Amino acid sequence: MLSATRWSEKLSKPMKAKMLQTELTASPQWGTEPEWPDLAARAAKAAIAASSRADLMSRNFDIEVSVKLSDNAEVQTLNKAYRGKDKPTNVLSFPQIQPDLLDTLANTDDGEALLGDIILAYETCRDEAVAKDISFSSHITHLIVHGSLHLLGYDHENEVDAGVMENCEINALATLGIANPYTEQA
């Protein structure tokens, strides 16, 4: 018995990969709980989806974000070298693609793009979570969302840009079931 399937251009179009890869490395003090690689992937994906660059997720190329869970000493060294601030901070982002190239990528259908690197300082992040009385994993999720938005060209150097970035963060975190981090806690 022979069978045939009629060719259809509509059915033969390549599927979009929509692939976001997160590469995560963690210093020992971070432990293994919660599941950091999954948390990082979900946070980065939510940030991109909530941004003006959401179209990147519908393209047929891989997007990579590198996340390093480190410590105050390493982050302080990087903060001094790249920002001239000799102190640790919670998160640093190092974009690998300029914003105008992101526009070009949004109009292509193949290849791959390393958006950049995000590095977090364990001690600073832990102390902030305790001071804010929020879960450590929720705080880390927020900071990875924040760092991912920096990789996409967002910044908070002025009030207008800060408001735009915060709205993206709030929307991304809401999709992950995390409350608005910018509201005052009772």
List binding-site positions for Zn(2+): 146, 150, 156
Give buried/exposed letters for 51-83 (b at 16+ CB in 10 A, else e): bebeebbebebebbbbbbbbbbebbbebbeeee
Cα 97 to Cα 116: distance, rounded to the nearest angstrom: 7
What distance in Å separates the CA atoms of residue 169 and residue 56, rounded to the nearest whole number? Answer: 17
At CA 90, angle to CA 86 and CA 94, rounded to 5?
80
